[in-house]
Structure 1
Amino acid sequence: MTGLNREAVLDAAAALVRQHGPQALTMRKLAAELGTAVTSIYWHVGNRESLLEALVERTVRELGEIQPRGRTPQARTVSIARTLRRELRARPHLIAMVHERGLTERMFLSAQRALVREAHAAGLRGARAAEAVRAVQFSVIGHVLVERNRERAPLQYPGEPELWESDRETDDAALVRALATPPDAEKVFTATLRALVDGLLGVPDSPPQQGV
């Protein structure tokens, strides 16, 4: 492979880890993926442990590049949370490697700082701002963990749709139909996030209450 450099090696290594997990990352397999000699891999990134450390550092750095979007603190907070969820979902094995090396808090620090700026912009300070930041962060992480567990869980029988299709304890037919449908993780996350953010930061542009 011509033009091989450190970033190209890390890109290929990250792709292997994303697809098959850290255990699949060997120097020989990586060299084969890149069409080069094992000695060339060592030249660019050192041994396997050095390569794993470089992947962890890069993952930490990538999670620190979240750019909020939106005109209000609420909209920007939602955008940070959605991006964080997407980034965590895209690299579960790499995130696990970061966690195993005790760098989880460092990985989330930049996202926390972005959330702090929006909490301040919404008028929150001190413990209330910290509470809002952690509530959003933990909500994102919780949703990602639930989604991952559902994906890896064995087939359930009867599953949620079958259980609700046979339910006769409620007269809310629309509810039964909705719960008999497999959940849309994106919609659930968005609904939870917006309710959480509006509750913590306030609904943007809401009219003043009478008597306040």
Structure 2
Amino acid sequence: MARSSLTREEVLAAAAGLVRRDGPRQLTMRRLAAELGTAVTSIYWHVGNRESLLDALVERTVLEMGTLRPAGRAPAARIVSVARALRRELRARPHLIAMVHERGLTERMFLPAQQALAAEVHAAGLRGSRAADAVRAVQVHTVGFLLVERNRERSPVQSPGEGELWSAAEADGDAALARALARPADPDRLFVISLRALVNGLLAGDGEKGAAGGRVTAE
């Protein structure tokens, strides 16, 4: 039995769920109607045709990406929190992000994250081109790290793998290093370590700490 009432937001939420799970090519009006338990005509009534639906999903994704909120007290820690949230949100919706990119709205989507980062680097005492470099460096690090993650996740199983390639001898006598490199990397931990090092360096500049920036320490 078709649902007697349906909202535009419910349609968009269901469509976003299908795209997240199966990709935009699998999003058809008939499949979406089945997902919602309603008639195809009801879908058209709320969102128009498929292209209008995809446009609405892109706009919805752009708005969702604008809800990043810094956490922590010191600006350095808050910068790290924005980057971690950005990575988390990008990882959660790869197909939707790809749709945003295809429609030429990537820069608009990243604007709220840039604005949040700009506010925090200002709070840390950075201004002008130095502040702009810091904002872009954190953004590039976050997006670049994510792209490397995705490529590794999609790559075939490596044989030999890292664990088979490393030995104490190849680690220049550092057995602990060899053992650590032989273990699978923890991407979450590696992202935070590299991000904190980047932020600390950006705020320190030429050896000077940014005002009120401090250093990012382990949580």
Normalised TM-score (structure 1): 0.93
**1:132 aligned to 2:134?**
yes
Whole-Å separation in 2 of the counterparts to 1:101 and 1:115: 25
**1:188 equivalent in structure 2:** 190
* Alignment root-mean-square deviation, CA: 1.3
Deviations 1:123-178 (Å, cap 9, x if unpaired)? 111100000000000000011111111111111111222212x5632211111111
Instruction: Quote how far apart the aligned CAs of 1:198 are.
Output: 0.8
Whole-Å separation in 1 of the counterparts to 2:169 and 2:127: 48
**2:10 equivalent in structure 1:** 8
**2:35 equivalent in structure 1:** 33
Whole-Å separation in 2 of the counterparts to 1:24 and 1:125: 46
Deviations 1:167-207 (Å, cap 9, x if unpaired)? 6322111111111111100010000011111111236447x
Query: Within 5 Å, which residues of 2 pair with 1:24-63?
Result: 24-63=26-65
**1:119 equivalent in structure 2:** 121
Whole-Å separation in 2 of the counterparts to 1:20 and 1:159: 30
**1:77 aligned to 2:79?**
yes
**1:105 equivalent in structure 2:** 107
**1:168 equivalent in structure 2:** 169
Task: Classify the secondary structure of the residue corresponding to 1:157.
Answer: coil
Q: 1:157 to 1:30 in 2, by over 3 A?
A: same
**1:90 equivalent in structure 2:** 92
Whole-Å separation in 2 of the counterparts to 1:27 and 1:100: 21
Task: Classify the secondary structure of the residue corresponding to 1:107.
Answer: helix
**1:153 equivalent in structure 2:** 155
**2:200 equivalent in structure 1:** 198
Task: Classify the secondary structure of the residue corresponding to 1:59.
Answer: helix
Asked if structure 1 preserves the Cα contact closer than 8 Å seen for 2:74 and 2:214, the reply is no
Asked if structure 1 preserves the Cα contact closer than 8 Å seen for 2:168 and 2:174, the reply is no
Q: Which amino acid aligns with 1:88?
A: L
Structure 2 alignment gaps of length 5 or more = none
Q: Which amino acid aligns with 2:186?
A: D
Q: Which amino acid aligns with 1:137?
A: Q
Deviations 1:8-53 (Å, cap 9, x if unpaired)? 1111111111111111100011111111110000001110000000
Whole-Å separation in 1 of the counterparts to 2:115 and 2:121: 10
Instruction: Quote how far apart the aligned CAs of 1:69 are.
Output: 1.0
Whole-Å separation in 1 of the counterparts to 2:194 and 2:61: 27
Whole-Å separation in 1 of the counterparts to 2:57 and 2:86: 18
